[in-house]
Amino acid sequence: MSKPGRHFLHIPGPTNVPDRVLRAMDRALIDHRGPEFAQLTLRLLPRLQKLFKCSGPVVIYPASGTGAWEAALVNTLSPGDKVLMADIGHFASLWKDMADRLGLEAEFLPSDWRRAADPEAIRDRLAADTGHEIKAVCVVHNETSTGCAARLPEIRRAIDDVGHPALFMVDTISSLGSMDYRHDEWKVDVSVGGSQKGMMLPPGMSFNAISQKALDASKTARLPKCYWEWNDMLSANQNGFFPYTPATNLFYALDEALTIIEEQGLDNIIARHERHAEATRRAVHAWGLELVCADPREYSSSLTSIFVPEGYSANALRAQILENFDLSLGTGLARLADRVFRIGHLGDLNDLTLIGAISGVEMGLKIAGIPHNAGGTQAAMDFLAGAEQAEETAPQQAAMA
């Protein structure tokens, strides 16, 4: 049965796609080996470099982020190579599982899934690797299952402090376009991205941003590859083409999404995400609920993951909220299944959209009978409206009068 109004999509991806982007995609197909498409490709590639903040090439795949994970590994590594990863959540676990299946030796630094990758633990492990057997350090920047964000500059310093030559690979799938990310400055060798989150696109595109060090490693990498081969892509890209059929209409969507990002300004977009994340956390604190992320230094700006009290079902809560308010929230994954719900606040949304979602959660908590304090929505509104700043300045204004 149809419902009135517009669906509130607040999972941590796919995210809401702007109407402008949907309209840009709605056009007749063209020849993907013709001059018009080549011009589009050559217009897009340097703008993607600005988004990743990289000077090296960016490769576009017709795939989900999982494909870009695989491309990062198979283009740079050989069978039996050791890679260092951190067990910080469901998606980190999936990347590690992929490494195992590809014939790599993946070492998993333990975690309680309430923290991001630990720079000190990475430093200690690399310092002990005096023979430099570890060929890559693979880190999820923003773990979408937990809402914990890695302190990438500290991890880069940890690698440098011990002078380890390992490649540095980063999953930016739920952080690119919504959180501060600097491929070149942080000396990332392969950045993995996806279209359906901060980039405000439908699923179906993924990306590798590649350093010169990674390109050099690809010359001796011996893992099997064909579809994911960088060299085939880079050779064809020089003239605006691809070695196989690209996701042509998504290129028009990408063109428009990048235009929106450029109009709004990437720094402004990142600041908006930080602001919305803080408003959401203030609501959670006011409700008296517990965040999954235990370290404030690692709070995500893309999503907030929240425990329900012991003995209550997060899935039942999400079902009530969907049924009553047409609001989709993220589910708990793997070891967090039915224990947490996730509020996505990334991509194309504004203050009113966020408040609508937070109020839906608060009403849902009441309907589901989950113990909480009232006032979470008000706390978020006060923050977004600047009420706290107004209260601080009012005595000063009175004194001046």
Distance CA 282, CA 270 (A): 19
Distance CA 349, CA 354 (A): 7
Terminal-residue alpha carbon distance, the chain: 59
**Distance, CA of 165 to chain centre:** 26
Banded model confidence at residue 388, pLDDT cuts 50, 70, 90: low
Distance CA 394, CA 254 (A): 46
Banded model confidence at residue 39, pLDDT cuts 50, 70, 90: very high
Give the pLDDT confidence score for residue 301 in this predicted structure.
Answer: 98
- 153-111-107-209 Cα dihedral, nearest 10 degrees: -40
Give the pLDDT confidence score for residue 399 in this predicted structure.
Answer: 42
Helices (H), 329-371: 351-367
Give 33's contacts (C-beta < 8 A, 6+ positions apart).
241
Q: Is 335 annotated as a binding residue?
A: no
Residue (of 323, 396, 327) closest to 361 by Cα position: 327
- State the DSSP string of 101-125: HTT-EEEEE---SSS---HHHHHHH
Distance CA 65, CA 76 (A): 17
Give the pLDDT confidence score for residue 127 in this predicted structure.
Answer: 98
Residue (of 359, 356, 347, 352) closest to 385 by Cα position: 352
pLDDT, tens digit, for every residue of 108-151?
999 999 999 999 999 999 999 999 999 999 999 999 999 999 99
pLDDT, tens digit, for every residue of 155-203?
999 999 999 999 999 999 999 999 999 999 999 999 999 999 999 999 9
pLDDT, tens digit, for every residue of 267-294?
999 999 999 999 999 999 999 999 999 9
Q: Hey, is 166 helix, strand or coil?
A: coil
User: Could you tell me if 88 and 171 are in contact, meaning their C-beta atoms sit under 8 angstroms apart?
Assistant: no
Distance CA 58, CA 209 (A): 4
Q: What is the DSSP letter of 146?
A: T
When the pLDDT of each residue in the chain is averaged and rounded to a whole number, the result is 96
**What structural domains does the chain harbor?**
8-14+266-394 (3.90.1150.10), 19-262 (3.40.640.10)
Dihedral sign of CA atoms 123, 125, 131, 135 in order: negative
User: Could you tell me if 71 and 208 are in contact, meaning their C-beta atoms sit under 8 angstroms apart?
Assistant: yes
| Residue 203, number of CB atoms within 10 A of its CB | 16
pLDDT, tens digit, for every residue of 297-335?
999 999 999 999 999 999 999 999 999 999 999 999 999
Distance CA 325, CA 216 (A): 52
Dig out the tokens for 46 from the structure: 């340097």
Give the pLDDT confidence score for residue 396 in this predicted structure.
Answer: 43
Give the pLDDT confidence score for residue 3 in this predicted structure.
Answer: 86
H/E stretch holding 271: helix 266-287
Q: Which long-range contacts (CB under 8 A, 24 or more apart) does 272-275 make?
A: 273/178, 273/179, 273/198, 273/301, 273/302, 273/345, 273/346, 274/301, 275/384
User: Could you tell me if 14 and 202 are in contact, meaning their C-beta atoms sit under 8 angstroms apart?
Assistant: yes
Residue (of 36, 97, 47, 59) closest to 334 by Cα position: 97
What is the mean predicted confidence (pLDDT) over 16-21? 97
Q: What is the pTM of this model?
A: 0.95
Dig out the tokens for 206 from the structure: 């993924």
